[in-house]
Amino acid sequence: MSENFKYRRVLLKLSGEALMGEGEYGIDLDTVERISADVKGVHEQGAEVCLVIGGGNIFRGIAGAAAGMERASADYMGMLATVINALAVQNALEQSGVPTRVMSAIPMATVCEPYLRRRAVRHLEKGRVVIFAAGTGNPFFTTDTAAALRAAEMNCDALLKGTQVDGVYTSDPKTNPDATRYDSLSYLEVLAKDLRVMDASAISLARENAIPILVFSIHNPGAFADVLKGGGLRTIISEGETDRG
């Protein structure tokens, strides 16, 4: 284990949109390879890494329900979209020489392993990157909640959310140039301010299990490693007080 890392075992949460690159939907392979290169760099330095990836670049359950679909069916379609994304990231990692396992909450043995907590922990201990697919396996729960749940089950030291911006801001920095970034926030402040970093269930799960959440930009090469070392541009959500950058 590299002594430079502040966190030994981590879960990285990626949105499906993070895999789109400049496209409007689908998977951009160059983007997937770049993100995988960052994961590989951290893995090679000795960190134990697992991932949860959303499916919004292919199908989003809430959007499907809003369009008139029955919510449970729409959510199951969204879960299947996360499996597609997981297999894409697995392919990129394994082509670069990183041992990887995809574990799905919905059993589909021909393409990946079923999720078993003890087996997942063992994979991590053996130096494999584990990608958790299909959310929690239940409708009405987001992949944010799945990420917090898996981070707790894997006894992770931190939950990292790779987003489009380098932290949590007072408002959308893309539309408000005066928005300022928080260096740190407490779990309760995130909920009280309705900052929508992750859904309330995910924030509550992280709080109950004392898992810090670090929000950073997945599009900055090397940012993943920088955050694990305790630096870089990011917002940390824990039991501490607010600190604006």
Percent of the chain past pLDDT 70, that is, above it, reads 96
| pLDDT at res. 1 | 47
Q: Which fold has domain 9-244?
A: Carbamate kinase (3.40.1160)
pLDDT of 4-43, one tens digit each? 889 999 999 999 999 998 888 899 999 999 999 999 999 9
- E-strand spans in the chain? 9-14, 48-53, 100-104, 113-114, 129-133, 158-163, 168-169, 181-186, 213-217, 235-238, 243-244
**Least confidently predicted of 63-67, 107-111, 127-131, 237-241:** 63-67
Q: Domain-by-domain residue ranges, the chain?
A: 9-244
CA angle at residue 160 from 65 to 41, to 5 degrees? 120
Give pTM, 2 decimals. Answer: 0.92
User: What pLDDT does 21 receive?
Assistant: 84
- Distances from the Cα of 30 to the Cα of 27, 34, 184, 198, angstroms: 9, 6, 32, 27
pLDDT band (50, 70, 90) for residue 2: low
pLDDT band at 245 (very low <50, low <70, confident <90, very high): low
- What band does 177 get if pLDDT is binned at 50, 70 and 90? confident
Per-residue model confidence as pLDDT tens digits over 112-139:
999 999 999 999 999 999 999 999 999 9
pLDDT over threshold 90, residue 176: no
Q: What is the mean pLDDT of residues 97-106?
A: 98
Q: Distance between terminal CA atoms of the chain?
A: 30
Q: Looking at residue 7, what is its pLDDT?
A: 93
Residues 208-241: tens digit of each pLDDT: 999 999 999 999 889 999 999 988 899 999 986 5
Structure tokens belonging to residue 183: 């260096």
pLDDT at 240: 67
The amino acid that residue 12 corresponds to is L
